Amino acid sequence: MEPAGKSEAIAGGVLFRCERNICIAPRSRDRTLRVCSELRREVGTIVSFSAGGGLLPDAQLARCNG
């Protein structure tokens, strides 16, 4: 897995802190898929995304990366 290219990224108005291939941020009020898509534009392909204690389903993850 490629490491994230940045140590920080902003998606959905939220600051994500990235280390190697993991980016973490506090909760966002924005829609999960929108935040995932914005993060992908900042750091590249997303292989897993969770929000509110649940993983983004495969179909939505594919849309995030599409």
Provide mean pLDDT across the span 40-52: 90
pLDDT at position 12: 87
pLDDT at position 58: 94
Give the residue from 49, 47, 55 showing the smallest Cα distance to 16: 49
pLDDT at position 5: 61
DSSP 2-64: PPPS-SEEEETTEEEEEETTEEE----SS-HHHHHHHHHHHH---S--EETTEEPPHHHHHHH
pLDDT in tens, 1-35: 444 566 888 988 889 988 888 888 887 767 899 99
pTM here is 0.78
pLDDT at position 1: 42
